[in-house]
Structure 1
């Protein structure tokens, strides 16, 4: 993991970057619907006259049944969420899994999309080491994401594939994806991964050679490099469209760590292809970094120990360079950057991962003679050997030992996991705070709510429930308390659940690409769950539906909290800012969910 961004120049405040011209996704400033959606919905315009981005939008709108005349409720959103469009398509085509209770979710599969091996210059474990540990710690899926760069692009992406295929054969109940950690041009790092198949190596290799910031010498903060990142995301979408790979996804990693992922870049990534660019790490890896000296490294939890530099986006406050309860500032701040995206109707998912390089409590080391020269020559380090001592200075946990990303799927397959991530069917936790979680928004009463004509009056995480104005809306949350000790060897207890609600206002979308806040989003209810065991249900009356809104949840063990960054009126008891050198992750556990949107149909 490289922290060197000294070559970068300050981010410009200009909003007229080259990415804003990407295939029809630039937004109009005067209406309720962005221009790409407006053109795509106009049935008088033929398919042949649309840009690729507009054509993709039209297909999604057709799938959701809203071309021609957009309803008032739908015009409150910038577009149709992938989950909505896919569910509608499946319903018409007679496929199972799209229309059932909970949006086709039959399984919640725990995973980790950010794991390094001996094919990364700053890591050391074999693929099988990481996969076996991840499976032992309860993961159902994981992604191998060795660092992009000259050596990896030249030979590493090829060499790791046989190890991944061997691990798939050895651990048949575990889904093991091949990916890479992308050096995003003009920005931070990100996970890119594809569905297994005949072209998984060739697609990843071509992507890395053509679009990696380090390989292309495109790390500098220029509009041209920002445009290269957008082009890379669009290229991945084309590989999916051409069926070279069954699927591809991109998620930004540790976005607030150095302050160099500016808000307009994040929006540009998502707008480049919302099927590919789907989210970021809500909580970074390196969580053991905060363990105090004596039994830990005594450094920064998550590796978030930095400060603003000339390379950072100037709108970010100093507090954003720290983790808050182990979570990234952009996610942990109620009414912050994440909520600003959600309030614009832009689906954007969160995850929680290990970023495992060298693990706390491990007993391995690289073999003698396995150094940088050998890595540059061979594309990998030698297999690790027994060190004869316990490493208490490392900052990482094994995959699944502390952080988990739970994905709702229709089955236990590779593309099902990818679809679940894309659709936002995701909740995350630290330290196994919960055993399971089910969240549903339900419409009842007058015109009890129909989702795109299918008569379903409920929706789960990542989804959008459309109901008639005047419908009564309720949030139903089913919690199963943890009943077995976690890998810190204690039984975690959920102390409180927070309900967060925000208004959806499309007028925010086009006017300020660097918008950081969602002023109408706040914690609206806190529920004491201390002492509750087994499975229990929390019910929240969300009132009568009149205007578009979204809800999301957060929960804690209650050990550390403080008023949120925007004040107690917005967030009375949110996660506390982590202290460098003294932030024991096991004493500060949280869970977060993705949102559910609710839209009036008329």
Structure 2
């Protein structure tokens, strides 16, 4: 069968939109002396050094080699990329004072994100009548100011879409003169809250598809250079049905797909810390039960997180694998969903805050005490989405996300990941497809960069095990509500007996005679359980998180997006 997204011979084609030649940030460029950096840039460089991401080779550069004859990691020259992808960490789900339940200024979130190693960020205040009328315009000058103040951080404007008939989703566009007008019209015409279209009805589902079509039209008409949508916390309330997810994926066609994935791990990860030292709820605030709008086929355990990850992603042989088995791109991310931060000391300014009238809360002020009742972290403090970009630019990040060159981690469990399949003189990496002759022997090679220093919680995390998950590509699902992939399973597990530097793992897929995909998962080994599909499928997967007592720092995982092998 064909694949709608892969490329042959290790060559990847991108739409640069005119800005892919932007120079590297000063913190990355080792030709710039430390003393010439601003304090924020010095902080960023220190973080990169601790993580082992400056210099040459894997221990030095977040640069993936490109081309079948290239080494696993290309060397760097003066901190600049010479060949391959630059891995940029980011977060596409961040709220500010322009959300009714938010608190921080745009500059606060961007400053903290940069401090925690974020290279790109998306401001996603909640869609609402107030935001559509006032907020989407009023936040833009603050975003422009942050772009100017933090030149080493790419700051997108987006919004959190109330998807008609479903949950929330990040929608964002490439910066430009029409970014506000396109987002404003989209929110006004297609937001479920604004349009009163929250119930799970066929008409509301159709409105969501129309919204994605609108975004595609804006790109085709060159109103904006690009637009993307990613579904947020998809299993939290059980209202994102499998057929809706497939509908979003297929809404715009493969040539310019707008909806490209969902959060593999939600934000609000601090919410599981037990009281009185924390909120005492659930990681991701996944402590819900089915409602009238929930998809009836979802089991009760789908409303909880598993090792901090959404049930759709965490279940080997489950819903995500059923999407991958169709041979179509659908990717995962991990984000902060940052509204109000655990252990912060800021409170909303007031008492003159009138969100409805002003479209924003007044600026935060010092509150005099550490707040342990919140469930969020700053962008990059706990969750990170790493995108393989072909340069430091807005277009390159969006292209990398659409291409599926993404891996995610919690608690800075690892510092780098290079995964590729090779055979017949060709190779492909995350999100791509290796096209070979039937019967070609194929090998998966994984180069893992171990943690280079302590995380925010003050300890150096250690990977205990890495799992290779493999499944067959069986073609389009006849039942659009399918949420199982019977052939997907853990095919190999590797114990990691090393705490610093790099580790290379190799898995032999054998002589491949059918289309398959492989993906990766790793853990610190603190909490594991037999997977929901049984021990023959997943003997040691993530355990269900306990509501009211789930410290996120004691249960760390990383996941990669897949790579396909398609023999012909």
| TM-score of the pair, normalised by structure 2 | 0.87
Between the aligned partners of 1:88 and 1:319, the Cα distance in structure 2 is 39
Match of 1:170 among 149, 156, 166: 149
Contact residue 90 and residue 99 of structure 1 kept, 8 A:
no
Question: Hey, what's the Cα distance between the residues in 2 that align with 1:86 and 1:115?
Answer: 34
> Aligned in 2, Cα 1:279/1:86: closer, same or farther, shift over 3 Å?
farther
Structure 1 position 416 matched with structure 2 position 396:
yes
Alpha-carbon spacing, 1:394–1:90, altered in 2? closer, same or farther (3 Å): closer
Aligned partner of 1:538 among 487, 505, 512: 505
- Tell me what 2:62 maps to: none
Distance change (3 Å), C-alpha of 1:295 and 1:88: closer
The 3-state SS of whatever aligns with 1:418 is helix
C-alpha RMSD of matched pairs (Å): 1.9
Q: Cα deviations across residues 98-121 of structure 1 (Å, max 9, x unaligned)?
A: 867589742100000000000000
1:501 paired residue among 458, 467, 470: 470
2:494 to 520, 527, 542: 527
Could you say if the C-alpha distance between residues 88 and 167 of structure 1 is closer, same or farther in structure 2, counting changes exceeding 3 Å?
Answer: closer
Report Cα offsets for 1:145-186 as digits up to 9, x if no partner: 000010000010000000000000000000000000000000
Q: Secondary structure at the match of 1:415?
A: helix
**Which of residues 515, 534, 553 is equivalent to 1:586?**
553
Deviation at 1:89, TM superposition (A): 5.7
Q: Does the CA contact (< 8 Å) of 2:440 and 2:511 recur in 1?
A: yes
1:86–1:477 CA distance, 2 compared to 1 (3 A): closer
Whether 2:390 is the aligned partner of 1:400: answer no
Say if 2:261 and 2:332, in contact at 8 Å, map to a contact too. Answer: yes
TM-score, normalised with respect to structure 1: 0.82
Q: Distance in 2 between matches of 1:307 and 1:425?
A: 34
Distance in 2 (alpha carbons) for counterparts of 1:433 and 1:221: 38
Change (3 A) 1:208 1:99: farther
Deviation at 1:243, TM superposition (A): 1.1
Indicate the residue corresponding to 1:179 in structure 2. 158
Superposed displacement of residue 221, structure 1: 1.4
CA shift, 1:310, in A, is 2.2
- Per-residue deviation, 1:581: 0.6
Map 1:39-118; keep pairs closer than 5 Å: 76-77=1-2, 79-81=3-5, 87=11, 105-118=84-97
- For 1:200 and 1:534, locate their aligned partners in 2 and report how far apart those are by CA, in whole Å: 43
Among candidates 449, 463, 469, match of residue 480 of structure 1: 449
Contact 2:326-2:477 at 8 Å conserved across structures: no
CA contact (8 A) 1:90 1:98 kept: no
Distance across 2 between alignment mates of 1:87 and 1:524: 28
Aligned counterpart, 1:304: 286
| Superimposed CA distance per residue, residues 9-56 of structure 1 (whole angstroms, 9 cap, x where no aligned partner) | xxxxxxxxxxxxxxxxxxxxxxxxxxxxxxxxxxxxxxxxxxxxxxxx
Q: Residue 582 of structure 1: CA displacement?
A: 0.6
Where 1:210 maps in the other structure, the secondary structure is helix
The superposition leaves residues 471-525 of structure 1 with CA deviations (integer Å, 9 ceiling, x where unpaired) of 110000001111200011110000000000000001xx24100001000000011
- Distance change >3 Å, CA 255–CA 234, structure 1 → 2: same
Q: Could you tell me how far apart the structure 2 residues matched to 1:573 and 1:356 are?
A: 31
On the 8 A contact 2:465/2:525 being kept in 1, the answer is: yes
Alignment of 1:235 onto 2:214: yes
C-alpha deviation, 1:84, in angstroms: 6.7
Q: Would the aligned equivalents of 2:8 and 2:435 in 1 still touch at CA under 8 Å?
A: no
Change (3 A) 1:392 1:84: farther
Question: Which residue does the alignment assign to 1:387?
Answer: 367
Which residue is equivalent to 1:459? Answer: 428
Select 2:406's aligned residue among 416, 426, 429: 426
Runs of 5+ unmatched residues, structure 2? 22-64, 74-82
C-alpha deviation, 1:295, in angstroms: 1.4
Q: CA deviation at 1:309?
A: 2.1
Match of 2:518 in 1: 551
SS in 1 for 2:443: strand
Structure with the larger helix share: 1
Question: In the alignment, does 2:199 pair up with 1:220?
Answer: yes
Q: CA deviation at 1:367?
A: 1.3
> Residue in 2 aligned with 1:439?
419
State the Cα distance separating 1:90 from its structure 2 match.
6.6
CA shift for structure 1 position 530: 3.2
SS in 1 for 2:503: strand
Q: How many residues are aligned here?
A: 507
Could you list the runs of 5+ residues in structure 1 that have no partner in the other structure?
A: 1-75, 450-456
1:367 and 2:349 matched: yes
Q: Does residue 269 of structure 2 align to residue 287 of structure 1? A: yes
